């Protein structure tokens, strides 16, 4: 006996062949036998056309539809219902089953042109009521959320037994188990699918995983899959749009040949390998500023179908140099200030000149005399600029601010990318303001003890008020408290003896020192005069040093 050639999907062919040879439909239902209602559907092969019959019964009741038209129903599972219908290929056979208690189930067959299609695990089923009518009218209805039916046994299985005699007559085996059958199948393979592709943008000094990303706690990953049964291995190639834009690494089980990545294996293994790939942009990509690389994924299941996907893109962005603000204070003579330039690809040191920066006091431009960049070439370097004093010297602008402005389109990185936008004000983009402070800080003794020899007190306290004069304009540089001395040494006038005073407190700029009694007693210093020379090292933040005094 030769079964006619059936040209349809492998799954449909396998199902039709199995049903035709065994001719034994199965009791089917959802995973929960006690569910009150289930809905099931089956789309017949496109090649099966003509008048056909449907024999069906259910525990307890059912409604039977063909292409949305109700052709029968039943409520006594021991008495199968037979319906006759016209079939045009790709017909939707849909059934709603209602269970009144205990285990529910459905069994039946479709016969078209001598081909028997019995209920089986190839039927789709859901325990959630579908909306609309397309589930029973549309062959292409998306039933991916439905599960495949669960088989609970052949006719005769408990608890239904063999009570339905018509089931035996209509659904029992009609072929001898000793017969030999020949089946010819023209394969119609399903292509593999590529999902989860994405686009990413990243800095050119970094690397990226083109097929795996976590952005704002959301993970996106490429997946290679194939619905064919049995499961097929897949070969995938990944080809970048430009072989000079970068390189792929972390190859996993794959290989890289002339810039093209190839990996073969199970769908899971291939998916894992793709997700692990790392893309590193080349120098050419960095030099171009912004480069978008498109990856073409070619998936081949080794049968008759392949899939090409070009939805994955990564864009490498060359970062421009960044300038940090200079220090905020100047010394009083030919001051210098420093700006640190940072770029992940290295600076073009030759582009850092006196023309990069302008200095202004109001509308008067000062002269930047020189600039030294160190090191000459690296990802981070410091340029030290020297400003010449204005006419009248630095004291003529004491307390005023110097605006440091960055001139646009001047400083470049090693690939020629400039750092600044078009300036927003005349003379350059504001970068920082520097205060001119030429006034030195001061110190004054505010409390000086009279040592009473008779009392022989253990120690005495002296206080000194440090201050930084406020320049014209009200902008004080601020005292550098680190330079306020922690120890004072009092010397005997006309003698060689000394007494030490240690700082015990600093509140604001008021320093308190304690003079400790010398060894023995104060008696030996009777009539002596002790004086202290304030160090000339205390300074303000502009570097102005306070004068020494007693």
User: Regarding predicted confidence, which is higher, 432 or 546?
Assistant: 546
Determine whether 491 is exposed, middle or buried from the number of CB atoms within 10 Å of its CB (0-12, 13-18, 19+): middle
pLDDT of residue 363: 87
Alpha-carbon separation of residue 202 from 210, 239, 275, 315, 318 (angstroms): 11, 20, 17, 6, 9
Q: Please tell me which residue, 379 or 209, carries the higher pLDDT value.
A: 209
Cα–Cα nearest to 469, from 541, 548, 364, 411: 541
What integer is the mean pLDDT of 106-131?
91
Is the Cβ–Cβ distance between 267 and 224 less than 8 Å?
yes
103-112, 479-488, 536-545: least confident range: 536-545
The confidence band for 419, taking pLDDT boundaries of 50, 70 and 90, is confident
What pLDDT score was predicted for residue 533?
80
Residue range 322-435, CATH number: 2.60.40.1220
- Under 8 Å CB-to-CB from 260, ≥6 apart: which residues? 237, 238, 239
Q: Tell me if 243 sits within 8 A of 257, measured CB to CB.
A: no
Fold of 10-171: Jelly Rolls (2.60.120)
Domains of the chain, by residue range, sit at 10-171, 193-317, 322-435, 441-540
Task: Supply the pTM of this predicted model.
Answer: 0.46
22 or 235, which is more confident: 235
Q: State yes or no: pLDDT of 187 exceeds 60.
A: no
**Separation in Å, CA 279 to CA 215, 242, 244, 298, 312:** 17, 12, 12, 18, 12
> Does the domain at residues 193-317 carry the CATH identifier 2.60.40?
yes
Q: Is residue 70 very low, low, confident or very high in pLDDT (cuts 50, 70, 90)?
A: very high
pLDDT at residue number 476? 57
Please determine, for residue 549, whether its predicted confidence score (pLDDT) is greater than 60.
yes
- Radius of gyration, alpha carbons of the chain: 45
pLDDT in tens, 456-510: 676 788 899 998 876 655 555 678 888 999 998 888 888 888 888 899 999 999 9
What's the confidence (pLDDT) of residue 471?
Answer: 60
What is the Cα–Cα distance from 347 to 325, expressed in whole angstroms? 17
| Whether the domain at 193-317 and the domain at 322-435 fall into the same CATH topology | yes
Give the model's confidence band at 91: pLDDT under 50 very low, under 70 low, under 90 confident, else very high: very high
Task: Give me the pLDDT at residue 16, please.
Answer: 46
Encoding tokens for residue 504? 């015990």
pLDDT tens for each residue of 300-330:
887 756 777 777 777 777 777 887 766 666 7
Cα separation, 421 vs 67, whole angstroms: 66
Asked if pLDDT for residue 165 goes beyond 70, the answer is no
Sorting pLDDT into bands at 50, 70 and 90, what band is 106?
Answer: very high
The pLDDT, as a whole number, for residue 290 is 76
In the chain, % of residues over pLDDT 90: 28
Residue with tokens 């056909």: 52
Nearest to 133 by CA among 89, 67, 79, 49: 67
For residue 106, what is the DSSP state? E
What are the pLDDT digits (tens) for 343-388? 877 788 888 888 888 888 888 899 999 999 988 777 788 889 999 9
Distance in angstroms (rounded) separating the CA atoms of residues 60 and 163: 14
Q: Report which listed range, 176-185, 226-235, 253-262, is most confident.
A: 253-262
- CA-to-CA separations, 124 to 115, 132, 153, 308, in angstroms, rounded: 20, 17, 17, 29
Rounded to an integer, the average pLDDT of 439-462 is: 78
| Beta strands at 26-29 and 193-195: parallel, antiparallel or unpaired | unpaired
Residue bearing the bigger pLDDT, 366 or 183: 366
With bands split at pLDDT 50, 70 and 90, how would you rate the model's confidence at 218?
A: confident
Q: What is the pLDDT of residue 189?
A: 64
CB contact set of 22 (below 8 Å; sequence gap of 6+): 173
Contact between residue 467 and residue 509 where contact means Cβ atoms under 8 Å apart: yes
Listed residue (19, 95, 110) closest to 59, CA to CA = 95
User: Mean pLDDT for the chain?
Assistant: 80
Torsion of CA 91, 96, 102, 105, to 10 degrees: 0
Q: How far apart are CA 275 and CA 197, in angstroms?
A: 11
Confidence bin at 429 (pLDDT 50/70/90): low
Position 11 pLDDT exceeds 60 = no
Structure tokens at 537: 């090292």
- State the pLDDT confidence band at 132, using cuts at 50, 70 and 90: very high
What pLDDT does residue 324 have?
76
- Give me the pLDDT at residue 114, please: 81
Say what the pLDDT of residue 430 is.
Answer: 64
pLDDT at 18: 44
Residue with more model confidence, 163 or 382: 382
């Amino acid at each position: 006996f030769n079964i006619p050639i059936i040209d349809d999907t492998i799954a449909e062919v396998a199902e039709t062949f199995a049903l035709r040879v065994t001719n034994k439909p199965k009791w089917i239902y959802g995973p929960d036998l006690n569910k009150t209602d289930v809905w099931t559907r089956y789309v017949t092969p496109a090649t099966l056309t003509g008048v056909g019959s449907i024999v069906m019964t259910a525990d307890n009741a059912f409604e039977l539809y063909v292409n949305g038209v109700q052709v029968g129903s039943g409520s006594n599972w021991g008495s199968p219902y037979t319906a006759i219908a016209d079939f045009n290929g790709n017909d939707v056979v849909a059934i709603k089953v209602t269970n009144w208690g205990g285990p529910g189930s459905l069994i039946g067959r479709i016969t078209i042109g001598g081909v028997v299609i019995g209920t089986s695990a190839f039927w789709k089923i859901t325990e959630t009521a579908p909306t609309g009518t397309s589930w029973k009218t549309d062959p292409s209805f998306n039933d991916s959320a439905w599960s495949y039916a669960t088989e609970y046994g052949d006719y005769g299985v408990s608890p239904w037994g063999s009570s339905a005699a018509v089931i035996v007559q209509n659904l029992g085996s009609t072929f001898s188990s000793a017969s030999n059958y020949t089946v010819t199948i023209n394969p119609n393979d399903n292509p593999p699918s590529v999902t989860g592709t994405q686009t990413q943008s990243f800095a050119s000094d970094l690397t990226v995983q083109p097929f795996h990303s976590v952005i704002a706690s959301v993970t996106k990953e490429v997946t290679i899959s194939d619905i064919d049964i049995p499961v097929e291995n897949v070969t995938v190639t990944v080809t970048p749009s430009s072989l000079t834009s970068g390189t792929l690494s972390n190859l996993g089980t794959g290989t890289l040949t002339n810039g093209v990545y190839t990996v073969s294996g199970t769908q899971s293994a291939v998916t894992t390998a793709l997700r692990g790939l790392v893309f590193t942009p080349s120098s050419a990509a960095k030099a171009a500023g912004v480069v978008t690389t498109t990856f073409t994924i070619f998936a081949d299941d080794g049968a008759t179908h392949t899939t090409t996907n070009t939805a994955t893109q990564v864009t490498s962005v060359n970062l421009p140099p960044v300038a940090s603000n200079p220090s905020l204070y100047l010394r009083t003579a030919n001051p210098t200030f420093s700006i640190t330039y940072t770029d992940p690809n290295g600076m073009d040191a030759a582009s850092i000149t006196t023309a990069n920066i302008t200095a202004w006091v109001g509308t008067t431009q000062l002269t930047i005399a020189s600039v030294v960049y160190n090191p000459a070439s690296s990802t981070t370097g410091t340029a030290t600029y020297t400003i010449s004093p204005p006419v009248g010297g630095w004291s003529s602008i004491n307390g005023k601010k110097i605006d440091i402005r960055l001139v646009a389109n001047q400083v470049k990185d090693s690939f020629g990318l400039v750092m600044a936008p078009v300036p927003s004000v005349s003379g350059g983009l504001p970068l920082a303001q520097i205060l001119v402070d030429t006034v030195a800080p001061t110190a004054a003794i505010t409390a000086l003890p009279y040592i009473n020899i008779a009392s022989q007190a253990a120690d005495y306290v002296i206080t000194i008020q440090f201050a930084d004069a406020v320049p014209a304009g009200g902008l004080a540089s601020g005292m550098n408290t680190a330079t306020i001395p922690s120890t004072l040494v009092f010397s005997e006038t006309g003698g060689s003896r000394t007494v030490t005073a240690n700082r015990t407190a600093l509140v604001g700029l008021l320093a308190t020192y304690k003079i400790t009694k010398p060894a023995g007693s104060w008696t030996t210093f009777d009539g002596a005069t002790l004086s202290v020379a304030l160090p000339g090292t205390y300074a303000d933040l502009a570097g102005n040093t306070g004068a020494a005094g007693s």
